[in-house]
Amino acid sequence: MKANLDPFSNPDSTKVRLEDILIQLKEYASDADLDLVRKAYIFGSKAHEGQKRSSGDPYMTHPLCVALLLAEMRMDVATVVTGLLHDTVEDTLVTIEEIETLFGEHIKELVDGVTKLSKIKFSSREARQAENFRKMFMAMAADIRVIIVKLADRLHNMRTLDFLSAQKRHRIATETLEVYAPIAGRLGIQEMKIELEQVAFKNLKPEVWKKIESEMLSLKKANRNFIEEVQDMLNKELQEHSIAADVQGRYKHHYSIFRKMEAQNLDFDQVYDIIGFRVLVDDLAACYTALGLIHSLWRPVPGRFKDYVGMPKLNNYQSLHTTVIGPHGHRVEFQIRTKNMHEVAEWGVAAHWRYKEKSGMHQKDEMKFRWLRQFMEWQRDVSDPAEYLDIVKLDLFATDVYVFTPKGDIREFPRGSTPIDFAYSVHTDVGHHCVGARVSGRIVPLRYELKSGDTIEIITRADHQPSKDWLKFAKTSSARSKIRHFIRKQQRDRAKSIGRDILEKEFSRFGAEPKKELKSNQFNKFLSSRGISSEEELMAQLGYGKLTPRQVVSSVLPAEQMNEVSEEPAQTTLAKIFKRATKKSKGVVRVQGMDDILVTIGRCCSPIPGDSITGFVTRGRGVTVHRTDCSRSLSLDPERRIDVEWDGRTENRSTARVKMLCQDKPGMLAAISKEITNHKVNISSANCRSVGDSKAVNTFELGVSSVQVLNKLMSSLEKLSGVISVDRVVS
């Protein structure tokens, strides 16, 4: 029977048969549904029929080898089945729905997860991106088994790398070293990590590999008897103390030697600990006994003893480590642990998904990211702060999304972020001018929620500006504060420009030269008497309506000059209209991004709620609102156009003018006013005149709450006997 602790076998890919997988499964999962595995094999073979690998082998050899690796890891049946199916949706016409119909929701989820991960291609030139990529990778896999399948997939692809072009080999090996091997390491799957590193290293630096390889060979030759010598000495000592143990000697791997040489700038001869020993014992007490025996045989190197049994690492790794000066003065490292600890050391997180016959299948809720929390619970003492941070980050990244820039860089955002957040993270100006985004080529609105793996390209337009609505979509605080800042500034700039217009007009009306007056002593006195800090501040206050231009002008100009003009009726009337218009419109119309601004309803077209409207920043009267189809609005300067909308929250009434052509007969006017009153509409003015031919034109100014009410009233009026036509006067 195959021992739990064996590393992966590496059979000839073309020789692996379904039977090899079934034999493995039968060994560790006697109650497993083997028919499901057979079904997956047949389904996969049909789907991949006719497809070949670069080696020329039938494609199905690959899923078979992946499934065998998973069975060797003693993964549950669902994971092994996923191994057989993992490329069907990505590479054949099979749909994810078919997988669900044939294999159930559970396996569908796993296959879907692997397919999604396959779509992300790591192509960064920056090392710091690798960490983000690993995080994205893990964040996208809701189930840890998806990552385990992906690692087995990668391991088999690495084993069969030779058949690819040099360029492809280099790309895949780099990706393996920067992304896959660290993930395997973080999950504690040592065997996987080591083999991935070894194959990648051999492909990326064949020259260095060869050099280390030949050094290793001569070292092994020179130390031919060394491993046996140590084993014999220790075994004898262990037996004397009745400790059952398995002592294994092994050489450090090429890649870890290379890393050590590079990091500490050493020659091969200067690297210590190339030979290490592993002592596997039965129980915890035996660990410490074995340690004592080793220290009695050879002198320990100070500072090299580590007790990961008493204080396990965050990934639950447990072992005693010590380095001693062994026979012939060679430094030798020993790792001492129980077989249970060894299983965790070799398989890490995967150990939790390994099939355990006694306890049966695992609970489903255990399969998600619960292992992360377990990592935290296991931790009794944080001995390595960097490692702790790593784990905390892992736990957090479930709430983050990772997206690509068009250049392939990865950026991290809180879940729920939108293209606006992305745009502001590129540059403030990109944010301000952002009109939308392309996500993997498809145009999306600004409210689109970013998903991990998306490639985001921002669409900008030079004349576009942020609006208050953006605050509903922006999630990051930096984007929100940039939008708020822009709106405040824009609002204030508009108020200032309006304020200046009003004031200049008022000065001119009294025959004064505005530029001259704004520099006068009187003007400065007025500012300081009001506690206004600057001319700009005054303009803003005028624009916001906190001061009237008359208040300024009357304080600056001599009283005689004021009196001369104030008698003129034109101004009085204008002021009245201005006042009335302001009063009427208050709260009815909202101006985009502005509070507190003067709004005037255009008297030419008298828009009422429901009409399509547009606003214009006027010289001296705040913002005037016109119907979009008003002839006057079309002739106004488009530069001054501004978005406005009806404020649906208010009950205010607006004025509409209606012209009726009727027969000039007694009782006509009474019938009309009765109908208007029935519709609960107020008549604010009426003008009736006879036009001869026994006809009359009646013009009404009506206070209505919406265009719907007005339309209803007008159609009722049309039906009255004696009414010839009813029209709304719009300009």
Give residues in contact with Mn ion (CB under 5 A): 87, 153
d(CA 613, CA 646): 8
Question: Taking the complex as a whole, how short is the minimal distance between the CB of residue 110 and Mn ion, in angstroms?
Answer: 14
Q: What's the DSSP call for residue 599?
A: E
Count, residues in the chain: 731
Q: Which lies closer to Mn ion via its Cβ, residue 153 or residue 664?
A: 153
Please say if 90 is a catalytic residue: yes
Nearer to Mn ion, 114 or 139 (CB): 114
Indicate which residue of 57, 90, 390, 395 is catalytic.
90
- Residue 85 vs 479, nearer CB to Mn ion: 85
Is 166 in contact with 327 (CB distance < 8 Å)? no
User: What is the rounded distance in angstroms from the CA atom of residue 106 to the CA atom of residue 99?
Assistant: 10
Nearest in space to 40 (alpha carbons), one of 73, 56, 18, 55: 18
What angle separates helix 61-72 from helix 34-47, to the nearest 10 degrees?
Answer: 150
Based on the residue annotation, tell me whether 629 is a catalytic residue of this protein. no
Query: How many other β-carbons are positioned within 10 Å of the β-carbon of residue 513?
Result: 12
Task: Give the C-alpha distances (Å, rounded to integers) separating 669 from 507, 661, 678, 717.
Answer: 47, 11, 14, 11
Adjacent-strand bridge partners of 413: 401
Both tokens assigned to 332: 């030798």
Q: How far is the CB of 114 from Mn ion (least distance, A)?
A: 8
Residue with nearest beta carbon to Mn ion? 153
Least spacing, CB of residue 348 vs Mn ion, in Å: 22
Nearest CA among 200, 161, 162 for reference residue 179: 200
Q: Where are the alpha helices (DSSP H) in 284-418?
A: 284-297, 339-347, 370-378, 385-396
Give least dist CB 66 to Mn ion, A: 6
> CA-CA distance, 652 to 647, in Å (whole number)?
9
> In 10 A of CB 268, how many CB atoms?
17
Q: Which is nearer to Mn ion, 60 or 444 (CB)?
A: 60
**In contact, 469 and 513? CB cutoff 8 Å:** no
The nearer residue to Mn ion, 129 or 157, going by C-beta atoms, is 157
Instruction: Please classify residue 582 by burial: count the beta carbons closer than 10 Å to its beta carbon, then call 0-12 exposed, 13-18 middle and 19+ buried.
Output: middle
> What are the residues facing 701 on neighbouring strands?
657, 685
Catalytic residue among 31, 33, 72, 91: 91
Q: Measured between alpha carbons, how far is 196 from 287 in angstroms, rounded to an integer? A: 30
Taking alpha carbons only, the member of 517, 516, 514, 537 closest to residue 527 is: 537
CB of 157 to Mn ion, least distance (A): 6
- Between 158 and 189, whose beta carbon lies closer to Mn ion? 158
Assigned token pair, 541:
């206050």
Choice between 86 and 494, CB closer to Mn ion: 86
Beta carbons within 8 Å of 720's beta carbon, 6+ residues apart: 671, 672, 675
Greatest CA separation for the chain: 135
> Least distance to Mn ion from the beta carbon of 119, Å?
13
Smallest distance, Mn ion to C-beta of residue 62, A: 6
Instruction: Give the shortest CB-53-to-Mn ion separation in angstroms.
Output: 10
* Min CB(152)–Mn ion separation in Å: 9
Q: Which is nearer to Mn ion, 192 or 662 (CB)?
A: 192
As a whole number of angstroms, the distance between CA 38 and CA 33 comes to 9
Residue with the two structure tokens 């079934």: 22
**Nearer to Mn ion by C-beta: 66 or 450?**
66
Q: Give the residue numbers marked as catalytic.
A: 90-91
